[in-house]
Amino acid sequence: MNDRKGISIWHVVLTVIAIVALSLQQVAQAQGMRRTPEERAKILKDSLSLSVEQTSKITKIYEAQQKEMMEKMGELQGDRDAMRQLMQEVMTKTNKQIEALLTKDQLKKFQELVKQQMQMRGRMQQRRQGS
């Protein structure tokens, strides 16, 4: 009888550990998707070999985007379709502002990065709909 209690306690402990580990992993992934404007600009700086001036201007563009999103998201509480539409519009506007700062070579690389992000979003959306 003591062996059964020992086994069941271990099952409970292992289950709790697994749940906590999965929860921490999901939180870490969610935080990775919420990068600061500075972090986002640094990623582009590294990917596109941006100058200091370009990086500074792109950081300001991302800061303005973040501010606009925060202001408008409060107005759209609960309306997921409107929020998705807003995000797409703001992202398109932001990308055009960034594109205006890039050289031809940087622009090609940036457009490829945007394309890859769109493909990734599409795959993530398919997974959510499939599950």
56's CB contacts (< 8 A; 6+ apart) are 41
Per-residue pLDDT of 16-52, as tens digits, reads 776 766 655 555 444 445 899 999 999 999 999 999 9
Q: Which two tokens stand for residue 19?
A: 């749940």
b/e map 85-104, b = 16+ CB within 10 Å: ebeeebeeebbebbeebbee
- Lowest mean per-residue pLDDT among 8-17, 61-70, 75-84: 8-17
Does residue 48 contact residue 109 with C-beta atoms inside 8 Å? yes
Confidence of residue 3 (pLDDT cuts 50, 70, 90): low
Per-residue model confidence as pLDDT tens digits over 70-110: 888 878 877 888 888 988 899 999 999 999 999 999 999 99
pTM over 0.85: no
**Domain positions in the chain:** 1-34, 36-130
